[in-house]
Amino acid sequence: MSDREQIKPTAHELMKMHVEAMFTHDRNMRLRTINEPWPGEPPAPRFFLGRTIEGSALCRFRYDVPETLARQLEELCADEPVVRDFQTKPKHFEAYMNLLQSERFTMGPCYLIPETTVPTMEVVSVTRENVTELARGGFEWLTSDIDYAQPCIALVREGRAVSICRSVRIASRAHEAGLETLEEFRGKGYAAAVVAGWARAVRNMKAAPLYSTLCDNLSSQRVARKSGLSFYGVNFTIV
């Protein structure tokens, strides 16, 4: 077995990396806020459940969820089966919703971008030095985010970025991808190219490139399929 194969993370480890990138935690590993650098500190969901293809579910709770309630939820999480697709709700969906007295939830697939994923088109890095030029014509908002959103990879046409993939949630062990393609340039394979370029840049930083989306985001799921991303689980949150 090669060194690379020995350090390949399990699905459970990838889910831990995912939740650590998505949210800030306190010393007790309770969720605090959504992991963003901008003012306001939006609160994390009250409950996070990560089901994996290995059958090992990971759950986290916001700091203000009572301990007794957290233990009830934890017992249910331990009974979640292996996840086989990202459309099926958790086994104990109704119980989770009832215990937290909520009607609002999110759910979606989580992927690892494999090392074998490489850009099929030329892509470039977007930095503080070139962002003003590349962001014109649709990505002007990127100029205020560029220092944080690194690495940021773009596919350029006629001197401007038409598709970008950047880091939007960053932790020490993993980055979560944020993907945007201008509407008139969709369906050309550009998104897959920038995702691959971004993943290569993240791996060069010794971090895992992760890609997650929502169940109703069909365009994002198409990118995942075309790029051959490795499905490792489903995240589920209750706000």
For residue range 114-130, list pLDDT tens digits in order: 999 999 999 999 999 99
Contact 26, 63 (CB under 8 A): yes
Q: What is the reported pTM?
A: 0.94
Mean pLDDT throughout 208-234? 95
Helix (H, G, I), strand (E, B) or coil at 98: helix
31-45, 63-77, 100-114, 199-213: least confidently modelled range: 31-45
In 3-state terms the chain splits into helix, strand, coil percentages (rounded to 5) of 30, 30, 40
Residue 156 CA to residue 210 CA, distance in Å, equals 23
For residue 175, what are the β-bridge partners? 170, 209
In terms of Cβ atoms closer than 10 Å to its own Cβ (0-12, 13-18, 19+), residue 184 is exposed
Residue 135 CA to residue 137 CA, distance in Å, equals 6
Mean pLDDT throughout 24-40? 93
Query: pLDDT at residue 213 above 50?
Result: yes
The pLDDT score that the predictor gives to residue 7 is: 66
